Amino acid sequence: RKKVTIQSLSAMKSNKTPITMITAYDYPTALACSSNPLVDMTLVGDSLAQTCLGYSSTTQLTLSEMIHHARAVARGTSHPFLVADMPFGTYHCSLSETTRNAIKLVQDGFVEGVKMEGGSELVDTVRKLTSIGIPVMAHVGLLPQRHVAMSGYKVQGRSMEGAKRLVDDAVALQEAGAFSIVLEAIPKELARYMTQILRIPTIGIGGGPWTDGQVLVWDDIMGTWSGHKAKFVRRFGDLKAERDAAVQRYAEAVKSRTFPNPDSESYGIEEAEWEKFL
């Protein structure tokens, strides 16, 4: 498949072709995304804090940890458009520090675009990065990097004022130059409205069926995550059961000395050579 570009993503919105985005965290998960022509975008989500590194919150992930994973994902990525999350704290201090961090993520992490969580407070940041040629994906609604300030992982935009603020934020981010926007955990009616009024593609996660695209976390799709399952998650595989069964079969085979097989799974030596050795 030909490389996905900002232009082709925009065309998919116009054509009403749904956009498929999946998170990837390392070389094998990146290869799995790239091996399927129906996958349009790969996201090195900062959800890797929990899914890969065992942190309790994405706020604990550092820029160098993100870059380490992004490089591996980039090595396995072919046609999908590759975006990485700016970790918490790397785009909030000053415009110059934010710019340096975004450049570092592109230059050392080999990603094509960066994603950041927030509303109109990010307008100057988005404008600056866009102006120097770093594509920015916006992210509004439930903002996992602000779960403490938001008193938990909750649906956003259910009140009239909340919905109005989300619309204003999304429009402001689009006008600042964002090429696409993630809508997380908002009512489906609001996500549909935002998809209609915005020119840029909307990618939903917990935003209902009418956004321009969908994104899910790798481990949620595969069924390898045993923690809390959000309402919007559908498990498309049951790799945890398969994985645990394989560990069990291997361990049993070792304990019972039925692995490895002395002939088909082991090396040998000519008898004459072995005699000499002895």
Under rule CB under 6 A, residue 45 binds ligand KIV: yes
Q: Which residue is nearest to ligand KIV (CB)?
A: 45
Q: Look up residue 14 and give its amino acid.
A: S
Under rule CB under 5 A, residue 45 binds Na ion: yes
Q: Which of residues 85-124 bind Na ion (CB under 5 A)?
A: 85
Q: Which residues contact 164 (CB under 8 A, 6 or more apart)?
A: none
Q: Which residues contact 189 (CB under 8 A, 6 or more apart)?
A: 208
CA atoms within 13 A on the CB side of 179: 23
Under rule CB under 6 A, residue 23 binds ligand KIV: yes
Tokens of 92: 């909030």
Rounded to a whole number of angstroms, the minimum distance from the CB of residue 45 to Na ion is 4
Which of Na ion, ligand KIV, none sits in contact with 205, Cβ below 5 to 8 A by type?
Answer: ligand KIV
- Binding residue for Na ion (CB under 5 A) from 26, 40, 46, 212? 46
Rounded to a whole number of angstroms, the minimum distance from the CB of residue 76 to ligand KIV is 17
> What is the dihedral angle through the alpha carbons of 102, 201, 216, 75, rounded to the nearest 10 degrees?
-50
3-state class of 210 per DSSP? coil
3-state class of 83 per DSSP? strand
Catalytic residues: 184
Contacting range for ligand KIV; rule: CB under 6 A; set: 42-50, 76-84, 154-162, 222-230? 42-50
CA atoms within 13 A on the CB side of 250: 6
Contacting range for ligand KIV; rule: CB under 6 A; set: 45-53, 104-112, 159-167, 266-274? 45-53
Q: Give the residues lining the site for ligand KIV (CB under 6 A).
A: 23, 45-47, 85, 182, 205, 215, 217
